[in-house]
Amino acid sequence: MRTPAGKECKYYYADYHRGRDTQACRLLERNPQGGAWKPSLCGKCPVPDILRQNACPHLALEAKVEKGFLGLTEKVGVYAVCAKKMVEVDKPAIGCGSCHEALNKLGA
Ligand code: SF4
């Protein structure tokens, strides 16, 4: 679904059917410490680009609203792990690299 910022994000949810006016971020929602979502957070959120650049099915994301300088700004911070290798992924857009190594060994 397209976010208020205009990017595709599988975690964005909106329902305007029959007078409803519901918007949500399912990624922030599933983290109990995720914080409160608001539409403006989608504007600089790294998740849509991560999802577009890395389609690995083992990539697991967790998001949290983080305060900026003096608590005046907010942004979405992302923490990523490889659910297959159970390792932290520093660069979620690239991945942990273990699947690439396996493909290279197969000569793919
Ligand atoms: S805050 Fe990020 S993850 Fe959540 S709906 Fe917006 S773009 Fe998607």
Residue 92 lies in a domain: yes
pTM: 0.90
Question: Could you tell me where the beta strands, DSSP code E, fall in 12-103?
Answer: 12-15, 22-25, 59-67, 74-82, 87-88
For residues 85 and 94, give the distance between their C-alpha atoms in angstroms, rounded to a whole number.
15
Per-residue tokens: 54: 């890395």
Residue 83 lies in a domain: yes
Instruction: Return the pLDDT at 38.
Output: 97
Residue 12 lies in a domain: no
Residue 45 lies in a domain: yes
pLDDT tens per residue, range 52-98 = 999 999 999 999 999 998 889 999 999 999 999 999 999 999 999 88
Instruction: Return the pLDDT at 108.
Output: 58
Q: Judge whether residue 107 has pLDDT over 80.
A: no
The count of domains in the chain is: 1
Residue 42 lies in a domain: yes
- Residue closest via CA to ligand 1's atom 1 equals 42
Instruction: Return the pLDDT at 92.
Output: 97
Q: Which of 3, 26, 31, 40 to mutate to test the pocket of ligand 1 (most atoms within 8 A of CB)?
A: 3
Instruction: Return the pLDDT at 99.
Output: 81
For residues 2 and 37, give the distance between their C-alpha atoms in angstroms, rounded to a whole number.
16
Residue 41 lies in a domain: yes
Domain that holds residue 58: 27-106
Q: Which of 1, 2, 12 to mutate to test the pocket of ligand 1 (most atoms within 8 A of CB)?
A: 12
- Residue closest via CA to ligand 1's atom 4 equals 25
Per-residue tokens: 72: 């005046």
Residue 4 lies in a domain: no
Instruction: Return the pLDDT at 101.
Output: 73
Atom of ligand 1 nearest to the CA of 42: 6
Residue 13 lies in a domain: no
- Side chain identity, residue 61: L
- How far, in Å, from the CA of 41 to the mean position of ligand 1? 7
pLDDT tens per residue, range 43-52 = 999 999 999 9
- The predicted model gives 22-41 an average pLDDT of 97
